[in-house]
Amino acid sequence: MRTIVRSRAPLRVSFGGGGTDVPPYTDNHGGCVLSTTIDRATYCTIAPRADDHIRVRSLDLDVLADFTKGEHFQYDGKLDLAKVVLNHFPLDRGVDILLHSDAPPGSGLGSSSSLIVALITALAEWKGVSMGPQETAELAVRMERKELGIPGGLQDQYSAAFGGFNWIEFNKDENLVMPLRLPRSIREELEYRSILVYVGRTRLSANILNEQIAETAKATGTVVEALHETKQIAHEMRRAILKSDWDRWGELLHQGWVHKKKFSSKMTDAHIDALYDAARKAGASGGKLLGAGGGGFLYLWCPADHKQDVVRELRAQGGEPVGFAIDMEGARAWRVKEK
């Protein structure tokens, strides 16, 4: 018998405020995000080996790398997310590490940050290190944004570590997660009226974010003003959902998407715009492209009596709409005994 460790970190859907969690906007103005984790996740499995090799395999990238215990891993673009966590949690024996996700890379569901949280959670469990969600999220941010220098926001690491439906505030000195204890009826109505549709390709988020970051460094300008508006809309969305004001929720989603398109010239394209416009004509009242933009999943909000019309139209356009359920749990790890 051997004991393996497995971990799960949820993916998320961000409804409002996305983009205001990206430095330097957070440092200069403070940001906020309204989001929920969903019933899709990233996973990490650690299994002992009989030798000193550390073998890391990513099913999503179809990449396999072989290292030796005690090795300090160099970042070269190949499985760097795994390497940065392994450098923090050095192993004294050989293991197999298996990584995979319920969503493709670049999906806009926060899969990269969720994966690094899953890795931290699994390796902490493997080494017997106790870590709470705040510590896990802060470590994930430092690894991904500082040590690896990957541009991006801060919400995904906190969403994956804490789980649930959250209002998250970002400032220069601290980031605060405030769970919204929504009644089950509100969560279920949100699930019922929501649609996700994959636009058919992944995005190069770094290119989009670099443009946004460069513009945000300016004191004023179109991008900064759009981010200010996005932050205000997020505050209004929080009030709308607490009141179950679904008509206002749809209006605010649409307004948010209008402003988000100003963040970068690469945010959207003719295919994405056509799909969104077709959904709106079929009855969707609002929506947005998730993540940094350029591809991935499009989120749509539908009045109950028009949802099936939107589904039919999306399928006619070549899309495959899917739903999701809200997951109220954050990252967790468990041990399994197997032969």
Residue 201: predicted pLDDT: 65
pLDDT in tens, 88-132: 999 999 999 999 999 988 889 999 999 999 999 999 999 999 999
Q: Which of 21, 80, 102, 156 is catalytic?
A: 156
* pLDDT tens for each residue of 213-228: 787 777 668 999 999 9
Contact status, residue 87 vs residue 119, Cβ threshold 8 Å: no
Q: Residue 210 pLDDT > 80, yes or no?
A: no
- Residues contacting residue 270 through CB under 8 Å, at least 6 positions apart: none
Enumerate residues 6+ apart whose C-beta is below 8 A from 76: none
What would the pLDDT profile of 39-48 be if each residue is shown by its tens digit?
Answer: 999 999 999 9
Distances in whole angstroms, Cα of residue 226 to Cα of each of 19, 32, 69, 114, 257: 10, 14, 48, 27, 10
Task: For residue 231, give every residue at least 6 positions away whose Cβ sits within 8 Å of its Cβ, in sequence order, or none.
Answer: 17, 20, 29, 31, 32
51 catalytically annotated: no
Predicted pLDDT at 235: 98
Judge whether residue 150 has pLDDT over 60: yes
Mean pLDDT over each residue of the chain, to the nearest integer: 93
**Burial classification of residue 309, based on how many CB atoms lie within 10 Å of its CB (0-12 exposed, 13-18 middle, 19 or more buried):** middle
Whether pTM exceeds 0.85: yes
- C-alpha–C-alpha distance, residues 310 and 279, integer Å: 5
Q: Which two tokens stand for residue 278?
A: 């077709």
DSSP reduced 3-state for 55: strand
Dist CA 93 CA 305 (whole Å): 58
- Bond into 321 cis (ω within 30): no
In the chain, domain spans: 2-181, 184-316
Which of 3-12, 68-77, 176-185 has the weakest average pLDDT?
68-77
Per-residue confidence (pLDDT) for residue 79, from 0 to 100: 94
**Strand, helix or coil for residue 143:** helix
Q: Identify the architecture of domain 2-181 in CATH.
A: 2-Layer Sandwich (3.30)
Q: Which of 329, 240, 325, 227 is closest to 13 using CA atoms?
A: 325
Exposure letters 151-160 (e unless 16+ CB within 10 A, then b) = bbbbbbbbbb
Contact by Cβ (8 Å): 160, 10: yes
CATH class for domain 184-316?
alpha beta
Model confidence band, residue 162 (pLDDT cutoffs 50, 70, 90): very high
One-letter amino acid for residue 160 of the chain: A
